[in-house]
Amino acid sequence: RASSRHACYSKACSRHACYSRACSRHACYSKACSRHACYSRASSRHACYSKACSRHACYSRACSRHACYSKACSRHACYSRASSRHACYSKACSRHACYSRACSRHACYSKACSRHACYSRASSRHACYSKACSRHACYSRACSRHACYSKACSRHACYSRASSRHACYSKACSRHACYSRACSRHACYSKACSRHACYSRASSRHACYSKACSRHACYSRACSRHACYSKACSRHACYSRASSRHACYSKACSRHACYSRACSRHACYSKACSRHACYSRACSRHACYSRVSSRHACQAKASYSRAC
């Protein structure tokens, strides 16, 4: 009589739970549960059975109204009707991110992220965790599918799976050039360039930046290993580290003779000759060309004096 007219008292149900004909035989009506939620003996005491929830999912007061408790999900994870059947809602995950059994405990499934990418709580909100990426690298929507976001790399640099682990992919660098932490920010690492040579955005595409060369001199594949390409020198003249900074190496001149900007194009600078004397191909090898003397006059080393 204490219960409503439409509720019968069942010995199968406990004293504090009445049996409602509105509820099925296997569900008792509990005053602790709301009118629209039945108490299921199959489920735990703290879980009410809601008609809004499916048969296999109980409604837990610990879970919100919009989340059902599923035995398939763990106790600490609620089943969200908004999410798919295979995704459990975890209180550890935010409201907008569901916990997917396919994703690990530390990764939440976000509808903003694709099905194959999980949202990692360790990473930032805008970074999705991709199974294709390693555990220590998150997948950022800002980065392309083939590039993972690594905390080791800066926010503006993505980690490319195609490149080596120690190379970050920078949007500032082209697709074919990766950003290496060994290289400076202004230099990209190109597979076309060797490991010890970085590709400088300041220099031309065909010039690699070598750490052996100074910052102001780029390494050109057209030039030999021992010669750096300087913008101060023309395209056809390479800068030789063996020679002085102000001397460019010309392919027209022999290896042992450097091309000096002080000398004319047709005259090469020889280390055998003094700084003030240029070596002219018109003159013989053993004769130096002196700017002090006329252009058409060659001086032999025997007759050339620094005093002159």
pLDDT band at 5 (very low <50, low <70, confident <90, very high): low
Helix (H/G/I), strand (E/B), else coil: 251: coil
Between residues 43 and 287, the one the model is more confident about: 287
Mean pLDDT, residues 89-99: 79
Q: Nearest to residue 117, comparing CAs of 95, 94, 137?
A: 137
Task: Name the pairing type of β-strands 57-60 and 47-50.
Answer: antiparallel
Is the pLDDT confidence value at 139 over 70?
Answer: yes
DSSP 217-241: EEEETTS-TTEEEETTS-TTEEEES
Between residues 280 and 15, the one the model is more confident about: 280
The pLDDT value given to residue 305: 42
Is the pLDDT confidence value at 307 over 50?
Answer: no
Is the pLDDT confidence value at 134 over 50?
Answer: yes
The pLDDT value given to residue 212: 79
Distance CA 285, CA 292 (A): 19
| CA atoms 71, 77, 78, 80: torsion sign | negative
Between residues 247 and 300, the one the model is more confident about: 247
Mean pLDDT, residues 58-80: 78
Distance CA 224, CA 10 (A): 96
Distance CA 230, CA 219 (A): 8
| Those residues with Cβ within 8 angstroms of residue 303's Cβ, 6 or more apart along the chain or in another chain | none
Kindly report the average pLDDT of the chain as a whole number: 76
Q: Are 149 and 163 in contact, with CB atoms under 8 Å apart?
A: no
pLDDT band at 62 (very low <50, low <70, confident <90, very high): confident
The pLDDT value given to residue 4: 55
Helix (H/G/I), strand (E/B), else coil: 57: strand
pLDDT band at 291 (very low <50, low <70, confident <90, very high): low
The pLDDT value given to residue 259: 84
pTM for the structure as a whole = 0.51
DSSP 178-205: EEETTS-TTEEEETTS-TTEEEESSS-T
